[in-house]
Structure 1
Amino acid sequence: MLVPWNTLLAGGLDPATTSWGLPLPRGVLSRLACDAEITRIILDPAGVPLDVGRTHRVATPAIRRALAARDHGCAFPSCDRPPAWTECHHVTGWENGGPTALSNMILLCGQHHRQVHHDKWTITFEPDGLPSFIPPPHIDPHRRPRRNPYNRPLPNFRQP
């Protein structure tokens, strides 16, 4: 996929295109870019590459393991999908300056990853380090934060 820099970072008007040259809708680009490897390629006016930058944005295996340990699977409220069925999501998008760091990432299954992007859910981290999801007004006019009860650590069942 090729994405002009201005389109990726600033919502420019030049379309992103597939490797077959077909344009991608903005929503699809946003969803794909959330978990994509990005390589900067600078072209001259004739389209010849002048420089290829380093790859950015993708969670390292260590960050992914830490997310699995913290989130225990999809972090979306009431979802019970395991870590193996999830994707890494930047809470503050990489294109908006969000770092690829545990403090800015959560695990989401494909369905909830699409829903967060499509419906514009707000995600915040509480003081305990776990994410809360604030639904858009069309889902909850009061925008009450929600959490996933399944991503809590198991209680200690040892006998005294």
Structure 2
Amino acid sequence: EVLDLGRTKRTVSVAQRKALHTRDRGCAFPGCGRPPKWCDAHHVRHWSDGGDTDLANLVLLCRTHHSLVHHSRWQISLTGGVPTFIPPRHVDPAQLPRQNLLHRPPTSIAA
């Protein structure tokens, strides 16, 4: 099935949601243990800013962390297909990248 929809649709397809459940295994925010069914698909580069509805630009976030990311300065990237979060300076002055280790073992984060 098609997993990369580009700019043709803003909302994720059933196939994309299944792929996100498999990849992220729940809320991708560091330390969150909420399961995939409790999560929304979030565009890393927001749709309104030209972000595509592609797996390389989507991450699962629970409602709490989805709201936090939209209303704060957390940055998200995908490192080797694994969501990586960079906190705002007021949370961590060094802005060290973080991953959710509850759903998978850590992966190497290039600085």
Give the TM-score normalised by the residue count of structure 2. Answer: 0.84
User: How far apart, in 2, do the equivalents of 1:66 and 1:151 lie?
Assistant: 15
In the alignment, structure 1 residue 149 sits paired with structure 2 residue 101? yes
Given that 1:72 and 1:150 are in contact with CA atoms closer than 8 Å, whether structure 2 keeps it comes out as: no
Shift of 1:118: 1.2
- 2:73 paired residue among 100, 105, 120: 120
Which residue is 1:75 aligned to? 28
Q: Is residue 98 of structure 2 the alignment partner of residue 98 of structure 1?
A: no
Q: Which runs of 5+ in 2 are unaligned?
A: 1-7, 106-111
- Write out aligned runs for 1:122-141 (5 A): 122-126=75-79, 128-141=80-93
Q: CA deviation at 1:106?
A: 0.3
Aligned pair partner of 1:62 in 15, 32, 38: 15
User: Greater CA deviation, 102-111 or 116-125?
Assistant: 116-125
- Higher strand content, 1 or 2: 1
Q: Which amino acid aligns with 2:16?
A: I
Equivalenced residue count is 98
Displacement over 4 Å in runs of 4+? none
Consecutive unaligned residues of structure 1, counting only runs of 5 or more, are 1-54, 154-160
Residue identity (%): 52
Give a deviation string over 1:73-96, Cα, whole Å, max 9, x none. Answer: 000001000000000000000111
Query: What CA RMSD, in Å, does the superposition of the two structures yield over aligned residues?
Result: 1.2
Cα distance, 1:56 vs structure 2: 2.8
Using CA pairs under 8 Å that are at least 6 residues apart, name the structure with larger relative contact order, 1 or 2: 2
